[in-house]
Structure 1
Amino acid sequence: MRVFGKAVMICLLWGVASAAQASNNPQMDAAVQRINDQWAHIRYQVANRDEQYRELDVLAGQAAQVVARYPGRAEPLLWQGIVTSEEAARASVFRQLGLAKTAKTILERAQTIDPNIADGGVKMSLGVLYYRVPGFPVGFGSTAKARALLEGALRQDPRGLDNTFFYADFLNDEGRPAEARIYALRGLQAPVNASRPVWDAGRRAEMRALLAKIDAKLKHA
């Protein structure tokens, strides 16, 4: 299990950053999309880590307001969890685990309401937390839980950019670079999402960087 220092990039992704899908509530969809877009801006267009943390902290508060406005809906909870996870990755070492636990609780609430939301986004987001947070006795990380969740997300959207990225990263982290390469290449073949250009370009750049890392590992195997 890796140390909890590498950015938790959920967009569903994650992170997760799966695209917000239309529901029966256009006002809620618009509010969630604003959180989604601002997350992508902070994640990919704000360079300074401290500034990222400050802006994510503000955004987490805004996401909590959307959750309160639409109680019982999974969509706002998913994005509150994603933003909180991202905040955890940029927090001081003293705050990281506490924020990660908060994100886990939020995402579990979303999963209880709708486990299939956002093409597996909630499963993917929880899976990322489980493989990037240390295991017992430090944290709640679990390779087995991470694998089950990430594979569950893939079953819902087997070619999605986020789902393939995080599964490839997980496999590479687990010492399975040849398998990881298959998913990284598959993800890069996903259609461009013109409605979310910042996220799409940012995630593809991360996928290419991951693929280079995988190829270097295979070359020296």
Structure 2
Amino acid sequence: MKSLFGICLTLLALCSQPSFALNPASETALQQLQQRWAEINYQLPAAQREAAFAKLAGEAEQALAREPDAAELLIWDGIIRSTWAGAKGGLGALGLAKQAKARFEQALALDPQALNGSAYTSLASLYYQVPGWPIGFGDDDKAAELFRQALAINPQGIDPNYFYAGFLVDQDRYAEARSALEKTLAAPDRPGRAIADTGRRNEARKLLDDVDKKLE
């Protein structure tokens, strides 16, 4: 049985209608959410993260209320809720994971290309880390398909390759995971995302060390 303790953060799009460009206020809110998420996830002591993510989720909800059809804000609302679930842990986090899943599905219906296909990556991560039926909605086959779509959109991206590597490790596919982690470490920097990029690369190096031990 899989555990919600592992959630880090993460369906085919039924509608290809693009979302409208974010208005300036929403763009600023999005950048603030991204920055604060990175600070909480990578710089705050673990014991303080659950409360901090709960507060940030409230801020994301306020931003989304101002522009409810913004796929980018839906994605980040979902990311915050899924990482809040990870900080919370246990079956009590399942409700948050379900909320995150709904946000990612809404984003995909509006614009599957938003934020370089981040909704696919985030939703795939949920599908492979959440327990399966009858406890949760976890589904490795669906996760694999969503990762394929994420990587088709953003093949060199730091996040899709890192989370895909985690999925491959979960499947005991260590050689493939190593390749994905190498792509993670070689991914280009993202403007304004220095904390997140540094933290993700540190996670990738640690996972790569674990993978190399499995391959010895």
TM (normalized to structure 2)?
Answer: 0.91
CA drift of 1:94 comes to: 4.3
Structure 2 SS opposite 1:171: helix
**Match of 2:180, as an amino acid?**
Y
Partner-residue secondary structure (3-state), 1:5 = helix
**Counterpart among 26, 31, 38 of residue 24 in structure 2:** 26
CA distance in 2, matches of 1:200, 1:100: 24
Return closer, same or farther for 1:28/1:147 CA change in 2, 3 Å cut-off.
same
**Structure 1 residue 27, shift from structure 2 partner:** 2.0
What residue in structure 2 maps to residue 118 of structure 1?
115
Q: Which residue of 1 aligns with 2:44?
A: 46
Point out where structure 1 has 5 or more consecutive residues left out of the alignment.
Answer: 11-21
Report 1:25-104 matches (<5 A).
25-49=23-47, 51-104=48-101
CA contact (8 A) 2:126 2:138 kept: yes
Q: For residue 6 of structure 2, give the secondary structure of its aligned residue in structure 1.
A: coil
Aligned partner letter, 1:74: A
Bigger Cα displacement from structure 2, 190-199 vs 179-188: 190-199
CA distance in 2, matches of 1:93, 1:180: 26
Q: Partner of 1:158: helix, strand, or coil?
A: coil
Q: Distance in 1 between matches of 2:93 and 2:114?
A: 26
Residue matched to 2:106: 109
Inter-CA distance 113–194: structure 2 relative to 1 (3 Å threshold): closer
Listed as ranges, the gaps of 5+ residues in structure 2 are 11-19
Alignment of 1:1-221 (within 5 A): 2-9=2-9, 23-49=21-47, 51-193=48-190, 195-219=192-216
Aligned to 2:13: none
The alignment of Structure 1 onto Structure 2 pairs a total of residues equal to 207
Q: Specify the SS of the correspondent of 2:5.
A: coil
Q: CA deviation digits over 1:37-95, x for unaligned, max 9?
A: 1000000000133x100010000000000000002111111110000001111115242
Letter in 2 for 1:103: A
Question: Cα RMSD over matched residues?
Answer: 1.5
For 1:87 and 1:24, locate their aligned partners in 2 and report how far apart those are by CA, in whole Å. Answer: 25
Q: How far off its partner does 1:193 sit?
A: 3.1
Matched residues in 2 for 1:27 and 1:105: separation? 24
**2-side partners of 1:192 and 1:107: how far apart?**
24
Q: Could you tell me the TM-score, scaled by structure 1's length?
A: 0.89
Q: How much identity, in percent, do the aligned residues show?
A: 41
